[in-house]
Amino acid sequence: MSSQRPEEFPEPSGSRDQQLSDDRRGSDNRGPPNEDTRGQATVVVHGETVRNGKLRSPKDPPPPQEKSPHKKLSEAKVKMQARLPALDDDADVGVQKEQIVIRDGKADLAFTGVLLASAAPPSASTGQWREYRIYKTAGGKHVFSKVGRSVFAEEKDAHQAEVFDPTPSSVPSQVLRSARELARSRPVTWMDAAVAFFGYDPLAKALYRKFSGQFEEHIA
């Protein structure tokens, strides 16, 4: 049996060079990429991103984001905020005059009387705060007022107010009485009514302290 192998002839260098030239020419004839395709292309190269023709590295800062518009401030309310805890009517404490107390959703209260005390927080870093006031009318009734303020022009102030009539037949006085108090016929005082209206939050306690310990619970 013959062990002869077919002879191998080397490829002429001219034909290989011609093939490479043809391949290169075919690549050049492909033309530029479509504009739409180029605009949407995303390629990752060594940890960097090419998007829309721009090279972007992970170290680059993120693109700026659109900021939400700032709320418009009320110039008058900003001045009020800057004066806290002082209030515009601090000079009226103890002065008998015509008073008007605003109420939301109800008729405003108009009476002759004095502002007994008021309280506001020492600051309002969020731009919002509350104000508490207690009045006494010339007829012996008490008026309690809560005002919610905001420095933002589009946010309206909130006003709440109640009247305490010390006569036993008055509806607010009867409502404030518990079953035990009614059984003992204990009269409800204006201080009881104040606590029912303001509660015991820090601002309410600051208001109560202006009454020389009348709101404190004394124990033996």
Domain limits for position 200 = 75-211
Count CA atoms within 13 Å of residue 104 on its CB side.
8
In a domain, 190, yes or no: yes
> pLDDT tens across 74-86, in order?
999 999 999 999 9
pTM comes to 0.63
Sign of CA dihedral 206, 211, 215, 216: positive
DSSP 152: B
In a domain, 116, yes or no: yes
In a domain, 84, yes or no: yes
φ/ψ of residue 30, rounded to 5? -70, -25
In a domain, 163, yes or no: yes
pLDDT at position 4: 53
pLDDT at position 45: 47
pLDDT at position 70: 81
> pLDDT tens across 144-182, in order?
999 999 999 999 999 999 999 987 555 555 555 555 555
Instruction: Answer for the pair 146, 194: CB distance below 8 angstroms, yes or no.
Output: no
In a domain, 177, yes or no: yes
Confidence of residue 35 (pLDDT cuts 50, 70, 90): very low
> pLDDT tens across 86-127, in order?
999 999 999 999 999 999 999 999 999 999 999 999 999 999
Q: How far apart are CA 167 and CA 97, in angstroms?
A: 24
Number of domains in the chain: 1
pLDDT at position 172: 55
In a domain, 33, yes or no: no
In a domain, 156, yes or no: yes
In a domain, 69, yes or no: no
